[in-house]
Amino acid sequence: MEGLRRAGARTCRSIFLSSSSPLCYTPAAAFATSKAKAAPKKKSVISKSAKSKAAKTPKAKAEPAKGKFDGLLDKYLQPLAHPSEASSSTEEQRQREREMASQYSRLLMGRHRAEMKALNLQIQLKEAAIAALPEDLREAALVPDLTPFPINRFAATLTPPIAGYVEETTKEAQRAAAGSKSR
């Protein structure tokens, strides 16, 4: 992995996820100053004498803008730029972790196969139930029901709705948005 490269105020960390695709980024504060420096220069209408006086006076260095999220990207990409030292785990521990991972993979695959088996069984039972119907009902059962659901339908619940609950919660939300106390 290529190390860190520094170029003036700007730091570019090259993190190679693969040999052909580097991920390069610039901290937010440095990016703002580099963009300000790279702004295209406009032709000046100031006289040459004013330019020479301005050149003699020392200029204050522009401070990079400090924002809320400056350095946040650095914080999260730092571990990628500097991978931790070789793990202190032994070969036996790594072998045990590999075995646990493969055992977990087998467990998930077993669950998936059981779900697919149950789904296939449901389809077979549905087809058997349709085949057991009389001819006129079988034809009607084979036609898919494509009627759209009502737009204003609600999710099914186990209990009936509480009268006035929606209105009360809307009022509470409006009071909270207005900044007044709710009670």
Per-residue pLDDT, 182: 47
Q: Which range (9-13, 136-140, 169-173) has the least confidence?
A: 9-13
The residues pairing with 21 across neighbouring beta strands, listed in sequence order, are: 18
Instruction: Using the predicted structure, report yes or no on whether residue 172 has a pLDDT greater than 60.
Output: yes
For residue 144, give both structure tokens. 């898919």
Q: What is the mean pLDDT of residues 97-120?
A: 98
Q: What is the pLDDT of the chain when averaged over all its residues?
A: 74
Instruction: Using the predicted structure, report yes or no on whether residue 86 has a pLDDT greater than 90.
Output: no
Name, in order, each residue with C-beta under 8 angstroms of 13's C-beta and a sequence gap of 6 or more.
4, 5, 24, 25, 77, 81
Q: What is the mean pLDDT of residues 104-108?
A: 98
Instruction: Using the predicted structure, report yes or no on whether residue 101 has a pLDDT greater than 90.
Output: yes
